[in-house]
Amino acid sequence: MTSATEVPEGDLIARREGSCGVIRLNRPKAINAVTLEMFRDVDKALDQFEADPAVAVILLEGAGERGLCAGGDIRALWESSKVAGDLGKILWREEYILNARIKKFPKPYVAFMDGIVMGGGVGLSAHSSHRVVTERTKLAMPEVGLGFFPDVGGTWLLSHSPGEIGTYFGLTGQTMNGPDAVNARFADAVVPSAKLAALREALTKVRPGATSAEIKTLIDGFATGETAGPVAAMQAKIDDWFAHDRMEDIVAALQRDGSELALATLKTLSEKSPRGMVVTLKLLRLARASSSLEECLVREYRAALEVFASDDFREGVRAAVIDKDRSPKWSPPRIEDVTPAMQAPYFAEIGADELKFN
């Protein structure tokens, strides 16, 4: 790519290296948290790489040592929500359309999911055709702790995890390591972090027109072959506890079990937004019956706009990100107080504001 068409090196770096179109999230101090402008720059880079016949493969990576991406710019969303602004409507619309584009991108798209990968970072990576994790990967969808739900197509991804593993990760916000991310179908291969540089070098030498099968064979040559981590070993228990369609029944199943693990899981759930959990569970169950990522993103967008206007979102972000007191006051404070009337707006059609794909 010539310097004339190169995206300026700021929060996002996009350039061709050999036959590889490299997209690097470049906010290492913020663990590459993604802003609206960065989403727009990723989209522009994909336009260029898609049109360039010399680009055989896309590589998404994060600058710095801490991770690919810690999520979206939550603070900016919080500030906008406080003044009834429209950043949520604009950012999520463009982000979700980009998530769907990544899923259908016509060239192989490789994501290096090293270190921390959360929220918006999952949206940029876990819909890729080739998803590489490492022994340093810490992948999570912790949105229920912010009065939110796993978005960016998270309900689609989680609903395709084996058994109730996705329900567990979606409701608890617990972290997956690399092998568990493979087991949960958020990733495809574990590659030791020490081998990423060599894999990256190999990707820059891929022949134009290389197939996805060829890229998979290349990545597999660096991979450990691990396919299951510590959470996979708990699947039978998780399937028993999280098989229910009502949060009250999940809580009751954990209470009945009474084991140390069940009680620890209960404690984790007790810290989350009751409304966020109820909405998340319903979104996950609807996603199971959905035929496409786009269908889930349309539903997520409706729910996200309702979340953006809610006290729970502002309170969750305040407690976790702004004041960091870790003591949110949820509304309502109990799962059983989340009425059908409270849930309904999250799932209602929104007319002219509906999410549409090109």
Residues with a catalytic annotation lie at 72, 120, 143, 151
**Cα gap 304→318, rounded to integer Å:** 18
**Cα gap 171→151, rounded to integer Å:** 12
Nearest Cα neighbor of 277 from 182, 141, 99 is 141
Q: Is 351 exposed, middle or buried (0-12, 13-18, 19+ CB in 10 A)?
A: exposed
Nearest Cα neighbor of 181 from 205, 162, 196 is 162
Whole-Å CA distances, 161 to 156, 157, 166, 183, 288:
9, 7, 5, 7, 10
Asked if 66 and 121 touch (Cβ cutoff 8 Å), the reply is: no
- CA 110: distance to chain centroid? 16
Interior angle at CA 165, CA 105 and CA 34, nearest 5: 45
Strand order in the sheet with 109-113: 12-17, 20-25, 57-62, 109-113, 130-133, 189-190
- CA 169: distance to chain centroid? 12
Asked if 72 and 39 touch (Cβ cutoff 8 Å), the reply is: no
Helix (H, G, I), strand (E, B) or coil at 159: helix
Asked if 89 and 46 touch (Cβ cutoff 8 Å), the reply is: no
**Cα gap 269→168, rounded to integer Å:** 10
